[in-house]
Amino acid sequence: MSAIHAVTFWNGTGSAVLGAPCRRVPLSASADFSGQEHMITAIRPSPHRFRRAVHAMVTGTLALLLTVGTAACTTPISADIPPYALATHNDPEFDRTFRHEFADIEGVRMHYVTGGTGTPVVLIHGWPQTWFGWWPIMPELAEKHTVYAIDLPGLGDSTGSPSGYDKATLARYVHTLIADRLGVRDARVIGHDFGAAVAFQYATQFPADTARLGYLDLPLPGPSIDAATYRSMSWHIAFHSQRRVPEAVVDDVREYLALFYPQVSFGGSAFGGTSDRSPFTDAEIDEYTRTYSRPEKLAGGFELYRALDQDVRDAVAAAPTPVPTLLMTAQGQLDPVRTTAAPRMTNIVRAVDVPNAGHWLIEENPQFVTSELLRFLAG
């Protein structure tokens, strides 16, 4: 890839490479403009009487291209910006309130983002997302709460392999970070997708350390739905549950994610529709691609599905939690989800489906989700 000047950016594997965020014309007296990747076509040698005119034309064209290219391309990324900060390094709203932190927890280095003041709120992501899935609503939550948005062990920018990807084990890692390391003993724990199952396990294992539970859009594997039935609910659950198969098949991670997100969006095929609209921006997909393109992260995400049999056993064995609970689902999915959750969540104080939202509640209707969370957290 040619560039006006060499810049360093971080690729999906976390290593530094030289390049530029988009195609640019090389600034060189001997530059070759004949390659197809360049932005102008070749200029052949001209007779002497035309050289001055051609030189002026090329100079003017280059100046225009440099101006347009500079405006169109992203700001060059400095080598001293770590990969985990790429999505937030140029965001003044992030810089005003939040910071990236790491903590070593039982052989895993856990990454989390924290900021704000007030009662503590722990945000737990699902698949295929990271802490960044909460970013659209974090600034408003942080106005009244201290927010901890975590990367689950083995995912996002957390490094190392957890002892298991079952949700009870992951909940213990989160509890060790939040309660033991950070000293938070009154957490409001909110989870989405598989993060909701982790949040449930946090509440049922550590009810004394859990002030409130937010359970967002996941049929709970357990007493009401066994693992075999769960795998039959969607092609992707069955596919991701296979050993080694998804890792071997998924070649282009970005394309896979970009094709997957619309399927479980409002009006997508998972809800009987035909919409291929994605609620995710290119920048958001780029950020998730950055982490899930790492082979160990891609495999870790699939392990969330492969743990379903253990998740069912753990939920069946779990004591029903009396922690005040908010249940929030995609539009039209409240009753099916509540049927699976109610046997293990005995104090559901608020249950609502999100208008005009599929599975991606936050991306599809952030205002509604934020309003519901703030009201619930204030109770």
- What would the pLDDT profile of 310-346 be if each residue is shown by its tens digit? 999 999 999 999 999 999 999 999 999 999 999 999 9
User: Same domain, yes or no, for 45 and 189?
Assistant: no
Q: In terms of C-beta density within 10 A (0-12 exposed, 13-18 middle, 19 or more buried), how is residue 34 classed?
A: exposed
Mean pLDDT of 107-116: 98
User: Same domain, yes or no, for 149 and 228?
Assistant: yes
User: Same domain, yes or no, for 63 and 180?
Assistant: no
User: Between these two residues, 23 and 175, which has the higher pLDDT value?
Assistant: 175
Give the chain's length: 379
In the predicted model, is pLDDT for residue 359 greater than 60? yes
In the predicted model, is pLDDT for residue 54 greater than 60? no
Burial annotation 256-271 (CB, 10 A radius, 16+ → b, else e): bbbebbbbbbbbbebb
User: Same domain, yes or no, for 145 and 56?
Assistant: no
DSSP 66-119: HHHHHHHSPPPPPTTS-GGGTTTTT-HHHHHHEEEEEEEETTEEEEEEEE-SSE
Using alpha carbons only, what angle is made at residue 283 by residues 144 and 275, rounded to the nearest 5 degrees?
Answer: 95
User: Same domain, yes or no, for 163 and 231?
Assistant: yes
- Predicted confidence at residue 80, as pLDDT, reads 86
Domain that holds residue 53: 7-72
- The secondary element (H helix, E strand) that includes residue 287 is helix 282-292
- Give the distance, in angstroms, between the CA of residue 378 and the centroid of all CA atoms in the same chain: 26
- Predicted confidence at residue 77, as pLDDT, reads 53
- Give the distance, in angstroms, between the CA of residue 111 and the centroid of all CA atoms in the same chain: 13
In this structure, is residue 150 part of a structural domain?
yes
Mean pLDDT of 222-237: 97
User: Same domain, yes or no, for 68 and 88?
Assistant: no
Could you give phi then psi for residue 260, rounded to 5 degrees?
Answer: -75, -45
Domain boundary residue among 49, 72, 95? 72
In this structure, is residue 2 part of a structural domain?
no
**What is the rounded average pLDDT for all residues in the chain?**
85
CATH code for the domain in which residue 220 is found = 3.40.50.1820
In this structure, is residue 78 part of a structural domain?
no
In the predicted model, is pLDDT for residue 79 greater than 80? no
User: Same domain, yes or no, for 91 and 180?
Assistant: yes
User: Same domain, yes or no, for 67 and 87?
Assistant: no
Q: How many domains does the chain have?
A: 2
pLDDT digits (tens, 9 = 90+) for 175-225: 999 999 999 999 999 999 999 999 999 999 999 999 999 999 999 999 999
- Predicted confidence at residue 24, as pLDDT, reads 31
User: Same domain, yes or no, for 205 and 88?
Assistant: yes
CA separation, residue 277 to residues 52, 270, 292, 365 (Å):
52, 13, 22, 14
- Predicted confidence at residue 191, as pLDDT, reads 99
User: Same domain, yes or no, for 149 and 27?
Assistant: no
User: Same domain, yes or no, for 54 and 98?
Assistant: no
CA distance 178 to 138: 18
User: Same domain, yes or no, for 11 and 41?
Assistant: yes
CA distance 340 to 335: 9
In this structure, is residue 77 part of a structural domain?
no
Mean pLDDT of 115-131: 99
Mean pLDDT of 40-57: 37
In this structure, is residue 250 part of a structural domain?
yes
Contact between 119 and 85 under an 8 Å Cβ cutoff? The reply is no
Using alpha carbons only, what angle is made at residue 202 by residues 199 and 205, rounded to the nearest 5 degrees?
Answer: 145
Encoded tokens for 169: 């084990």
In this structure, is residue 1 part of a structural domain?
no
Domain boundary residue among 72, 102, 129? 72
Q: 7-10 and 16-19: which strand pairing?
A: antiparallel
In this structure, is residue 203 part of a structural domain?
yes
pTM score: 0.81
User: Between these two residues, 270 and 54, which has the higher pLDDT value?
Assistant: 270
Catalytic residues: 193, 305, 359
pLDDT digits (tens, 9 = 90+) for 257-302: 999 999 999 999 999 999 999 999 999 999 999 999 999 999 999 9
